[in-house]
């Protein structure tokens, strides 16, 4: 009995030190959190009108606020003006009052190169840029001209420089492309990849970690096509460290190529969902240590009434297993906690 009490006393004395060490290990990481498509229109707007502008972020903001950097794809114009772009099945426009709650929830950067950012024509697009700048929300992939659209953004967190670029392989009209004299976005179709690869190489000289956002793929398809796989790997060869894919509105698998994660599709995030497939989503957490990607953690979520909520226990285990199965073609090893270890 005396021996047991002695051991127990030793453990009690050592426990605070153990906890401090664990906390110190966690503090060594720079945490980057990325998620997919965000828009505050349609069914999401209805929920916001009922519950307020904080509504879309209430269930996940704690995670983003604890991250060093949060990035999402802004798939909507931010404006109260503009004319609908013709011949589109869906045109999204979200009230500027949505931006402050999004920023306060921990979203630090938005990507703009997608097929809805000019839904309300040039007027709505320019308003979007103005509203983001007014609230000091950096963006990538769009601008008043091609140079601004190509520029991207660089954020420094605790001595680590993280760059963000954004390109789209889904462009509704050639008039959406930014030129020297026209506002718009930048593309990643085969005809445009030269500009993209050149900009990746340039930015990589300035940053430690480069995130490349790509709007691409086939809607509702859970598998990337050969062309998406090729573009992703070429981009990593050029200097990208994280590929952040979206547009299919469903999750696709994760591949680790040359120790760099490729999220082929992060699915919807703040969005309406017609069925379980489009309501299943995730946050991709990238853990950075010594200016290198150390590991990736899958944070499974589901969309309930237009907003993401975390899934727990059995539902979380099922969600991780679902993403593991999507990632099997790429031989990605995902443990039971949703962690992909990269550091050797």
The Cα–Cα gap between 244 and 324 comes to 17
pLDDT of 191-213, one tens digit each?
Answer: 889 999 999 999 999 999 999 99
Which residues, in sequence order, are bridge partners of residue 209? Answer: 162
Residue 256: its pLDDT value, please?
Answer: 98
Residue 3: its pLDDT value, please?
Answer: 53
Buried b (16+ CB within 10 A) or exposed e, 8-21: eeeeeeeeeeeeee
The Cα–Cα gap between 40 and 193 comes to 31
pLDDT of 131-188, one tens digit each?
Answer: 999 999 999 999 999 999 999 999 999 999 999 999 999 999 999 999 999 999 999 9
The Cα–Cα gap between 161 and 40 comes to 30
Instruction: Name which residue leads in pLDDT, 10 or 144.
Output: 144
pTM value surpassing 0.85: yes
Average the pLDDT over 207-231 and give the result. 98
All domains of the chain, ordered by start, with CATH?
Answer: 30-341 (3.60.21.10)
pLDDT of 101-126, one tens digit each?
Answer: 999 999 999 999 999 999 999 999 99
String of DSSP letters for 124-150: HHHHHHHHHHHTT--EESEESSHHHHH
């Amino acid at each position: 009995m005396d021996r047991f009490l002695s051991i127990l006393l030793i453990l009690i004395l050592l426990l605070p030190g153990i906890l401090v060490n664990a906390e110190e290990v966690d503090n060594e990481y720079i945490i980057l959190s990325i998620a997919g498509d965000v828009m505050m229109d349609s069914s999401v707007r209805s929920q916001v009108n009922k519950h307020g502008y904080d509504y879309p972020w209430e269930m996940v903001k704690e995670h983003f606020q604890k991250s060093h950097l949060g990035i999402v794809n802004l798939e909507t114009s931010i404006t109260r003006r503009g004319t609908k772009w013709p011949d589109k099945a869906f045109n999204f426009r979200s009230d500027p009052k949505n931006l402050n709650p999004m920023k306060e929830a921990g979203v630090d950067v938005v990507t703009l190169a997608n097929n809805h950012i000019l839904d309300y024509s040039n007027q709505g697009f320019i308003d979007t840029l103005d509203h983001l700048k007014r609230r000091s929300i950096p963006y990538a992939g769009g601008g008043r001209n091609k140079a601004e659209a190509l520029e991207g953004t660089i954020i420094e967190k605790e001595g680590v420089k993280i760059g963000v670029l954004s390109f789209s392989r889904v462009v509704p009209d050639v008039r959406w492309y930014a030129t020297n004299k026209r506002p718009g976005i930048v593309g990643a179709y085969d005809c445009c990849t030269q500009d993209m690869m050149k900009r990746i190489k340039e930015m990589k000289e300035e940053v430690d970690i480069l995130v490349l956002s790509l709007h691409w793929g086939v809607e509702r398809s859970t598998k990337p096509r050969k062309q998406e796989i090729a573009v992703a790997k070429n981009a990593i060869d050029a200097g990208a460290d994280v590929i952040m894919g979206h547009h299919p509105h469903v999750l696709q698998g994760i591949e680790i190529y040359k120790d760099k994660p490729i999220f082929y599709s992060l699915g919807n995030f703040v969005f309406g969902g017609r069925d379980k497939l489009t309501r299943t989503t995730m946050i991709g957490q990238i853990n950075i240590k010594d200016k290198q990607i150390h590991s990736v953690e899958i944070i499974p979520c589901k969309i309930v009434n237009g907003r993401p909520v975390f899934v727990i226990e059995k539902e979380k285990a099922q969600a991780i297993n679902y993403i593991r199965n999507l990632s099997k073609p790429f031989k990605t090893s995902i443990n039971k906690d949703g962690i992909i270890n990269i550091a050797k």
